[in-house]
A = this chain, B = another copy of it.
Amino acid sequence: MALIVEKYGGTSVADVDRINAVADKVSSAKRAGDDLVVVVSAMSGETNRLLTLADQIHPQAAAREVDVLLSTGEQVTIALLAMALNARGCSARSYTGGQVRIRTDAVHGRARIVDIDAARVRRDLDKGRVVVVAGFQGVDDDGNITTLGRGGSDTTAVAMAAALKASECRIYSDVEGVFTADPRIVPEARRLDRITVEEMLELASLGAKVLQTRSVEFAGKFRVPLRVLSSFKEGPGTLISYEEELMEQPLISGIAFNRDEAKLTICGVPDEPGIAYRILGPISDAHINVDMIIQNVSADNLTDVTFTVHRDDYVQSEKILRDVAAEVGARGVVGADNIAKISVVGVGMRSHAGIATTMFKTLSADSINIQLISTSEIKISVVIEDKYLELAVRALHSAFGLQIAETKKSSESLTAREPDAVDGGNKA
């Protein structure tokens, strides 16, 4: 008898029919003998409905009150799911984050979990009950309601799994797992049976919208076996595993991309200590997140600094940067928002040279110009003109042989399923 933590996101509990479907799944698993803790998000659309109300009242509402407001979204879902389980003869109890209790710091809107007192949940499990927990929320030391930020329900599920030492944490959403590339762009993209936590971290932060980055970090820290799978279709999904468990490591696990960014370059900056801070300080003061930062070696004591921001922040960033350029005596500012970032990710590249070479050669063969390059231990990212995005992703997917399973496993050929695109428009 295994203890499983399951998490269902907003689209999986979007309405009464979907909640009933989740209750069917959960009650079958319970009957099959597993102990279950189910973490749920707000019904899709609910969080936005509440935020619209808040916005009408006070555009800069206190974060404490926004958390009180938003946390009702998951509370509605836990009650309805518990009812649906009870209706199936499956004894269930709902808990808010505060009731569990999931203790967080006091940073409203993006609180971090400090610890979980799972004693109450364990008592219910011991009584044979399914425990339904509100994701995304907790309570600080003063009893104030906090929220973990968008996507925080994934983190709640992983944290519950860690606290309860669950056998597995299953994140159900509208995707069937982690793919070698977005199936909407690369029809022959393949669902991965397994991926390492490091690779998943890179993919999550690079725009493969499968799991919230924090939840993957959390899983890695506590070694929680984490599985991503679809609540709409049967299938084994993708298991996030821990490196040493894998006998043989594929070179590249997948290709991620992001077309939400814009790039800015401040040219001819005097190359002196503190200059990066003087350039990027005003950007972060304006609460603009910076992704890639590239500074090349300087010539004649002058250098160029390039960075990327979200496309929505492009105009404001450019304005700030022009002021900075005047202050520091830079030559000028150039930028573009018609860019896309593509990354190849794989823990295998740590021990293999030649990945970058293959990547650059492939792009060059299609006459795609590389504007920026940035690398980490297990990833290489390039920025190109966005109109080449699909072409580049498909070319790289093929160049790295991702359509073929890297290691032969008889189970994989049996369980592998054709991915459906989320919007149904690009069936593989």
Contact = CB atoms under 8 A, between A and B. Distances in A.
Contact of A79 (B54, B78, B93): B54
Nearest to A100: B143
Interface of A is mostly: helix
A64 interface: yes
A58 interface: yes
A84 B98 contact: no
Interface string A48-70: 00100110111001101110110
Contacts of A62: 82-83, 86
B99 A143 contact: yes
Given A19-B57, A99-B143, A143-B99, A78 B83 contact: no
Chain A interface size range? 35 or more
Contacts of A19: 57
A80 B93 contact: no
A292 interface: no
Given A16-B53, A93-B64, A94-B68, A58 B87 contact: yes
Contacts of A120: 143
A75 B76 contact: no
Contact of A58 (B64, B86, B99, B145): B86
A61 B78 CA distance: 13
A306 interface: no
A68 B72 contact: no
Nearest to A53: B80
B56 A82 contact: no
Contacts of A71: 75
8 contacts: A57-B84, A65-B79, A65-B86, A68-B94, A69-B79, A72-B72, A72-B76, A99-B145
Interface of A: 16, 19-20, 50, 53-54, 56-58, 61-62, 64-66, 68-69, 71-72, 75-76, 78-80, 82-84, 86-87, 93-94, 96, 98-99, 120, 143-145
